[in-house]
């Protein structure tokens, strides 16, 4: 065995990864939108929730507070308790309307002020509900039937 020489590669480098050239799908890559029926229903629920929240709040809730700065035009529904908690996923008490600037950029930079303003805006009773929901760590398994029922109620 020669010492000091470079090791020779026994296999050539591949110019693609399995994700790019997946044999399961034409064009390769990962599917952007799931075809799972539960995912489809949840997507429709999200659209309905966004409409309801915009109607209820009339726009970004932080527009009332000068310390938050100005808003932009794109409105989004912000879940106060994460969407991973299925029990509060479609509960309108858990959701407020924010513009994209406040939701994506301002909230992470000024998180303490954000939570203080949200608590002030939603009121004591609704804030108590949010805290109880956040503290609830029990798993809530939802079936397709459960999600369809939630969609009907919206």
Give the pLDDT confidence of 120-141 residue by residue, as tens digits. Answer: 999 999 999 999 998 988 888 8
Q: What is the pTM of this model?
A: 0.73
Residues in the chain: 154
Give the span between the Cα atoms of 146 and 142, in whole angstroms.
Answer: 6
Between helix 144-153 and helix 37-57 the angle, nearest 10°, is 20
Angle at 77 between CA 118 and CA 131, to 5 degrees: 40
Q: What is the pLDDT of residues 4-29, one digit of tens each?
A: 556 666 766 666 555 555 555 565 56
Residue 1: pLDDT over 60? no
The pLDDT score that the predictor gives to residue 35 is 85
Q: What is the pLDDT of residues 67-82, one digit of tens each?
A: 999 998 899 999 999 8
Residue 121: closest CA among 73, 68, 85, 46: 68
Q: What are phi and psi of 63, to 5 degrees?
A: -65, -20
């Amino acid at each position: 065995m020669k010492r000091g020489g470079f090791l020779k590669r026994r296999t050539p480098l591949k110019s693609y990864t399995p994700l790019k050239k997946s044999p399961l799908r034409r064009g390769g890559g990962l599917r952007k939108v799931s075809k799972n029926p539960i995912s489809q229903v949840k997507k429709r629920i999200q659209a309905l929730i966004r409409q309801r929240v915009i109607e209820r709040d009339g726009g970004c809730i932080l527009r009332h507070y000068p310390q938050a700065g100005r808003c932009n035009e794109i409105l989004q529904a912000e879940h106060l308790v994460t969407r991973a908690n299925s029990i509060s996923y479609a509960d309108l008490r858990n959701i407020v309307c924010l513009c994209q600037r406040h939701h994506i950029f301002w909230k992470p930079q000024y998180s303490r002020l954000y939570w203080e303003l949200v608590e002030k805006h939603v009121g004591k009773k609704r804030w108590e509900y949010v805290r109880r929901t956040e503290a609830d760590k029990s798993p809530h398994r939802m079936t397709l039937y459960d999600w369809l029922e939630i969609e009907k109620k919206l």
